[in-house]
Chains A and B, each alone.
Chain A
């Protein structure tokens, strides 16, 4: 059974970099695809990006200039960095596993609320 757990600061100042970690248990980060999704309060799901095979990434075009995803194979973690944040980046951030074949998001973390405020 794969389990995902997001962690990181719940409060980030404007213009700073948001950094989140998704710890994976029950499977290796190198054997699956990993996705970050976010959801502002009361709004829908927004796809942030996808990473697999250590360095292959696909980002949402509107966030591409500010997003970096990476895999830490030694810790079995997926990381998300979002730079130059504003209040518009306040949201619940989820990590999820994407199935390689069917390309669905079959396992999700519980989500972490990140608030951007001074």
Chain B
């Protein structure tokens, strides 16, 4: 199985901050890396697919980069509605695997 290591596990942010979350995979996965946002009590929501493609309707302050084994999710100017837990997921191989999550708090 491809292991996905996400960091940090917790992150403290303020409105307007630039926030960066990273994911590293145990094998090269090209750009088969997706990012999701989950607010408490809700289903995850797709933010970024194929490492850097912005899902329709997602604000442009969210961006993704990377290929191979190292990937980054960046929020350019953190907004109050962005307080949530973020997950990366590799979809290069089955079983698909998720990172452990990054909880972004005040």
Q: Spell out A's residues near B (CB within 8 Å).
A: 35, 37, 44-47, 49-50, 58-61, 94, 96, 98-99, 102-106, 108-111
State whether A108 touches B91 (Cβ < 8 A): no
- Chain A-chain B contacts (Cβ-Cβ < 8 Å), number: 68
Q: Per-residue CB proximity of B1-30 to A under 8 Å, as 1/0? A: 100000000000000000000000000000
Known: A105-B34, A105-B89, A109-B43. A47 touches B95 (CB 8 A): yes
Q: How large is the interface on B (under 10, 10 to 19, 20 to 34, 35 or more residues)?
A: 20 to 34
State whether B98 touches A102 (Cβ < 8 A): no
State whether B87 touches A98 (Cβ < 8 A): no
State whether B44 touches A46 (Cβ < 8 A): no
The CA-CA distance from A98 to B72 in the complex, in Å, is 22
The CA-CA distance from A60 to B2 in the complex, in Å, is 12
Known: A104-B34, A105-B44. A44 touches B87 (CB 8 A): yes
Q: What is the CB-to-nearest-CB distance from B16 to chain A, in angstroms, rounded to a whole number? A: 28
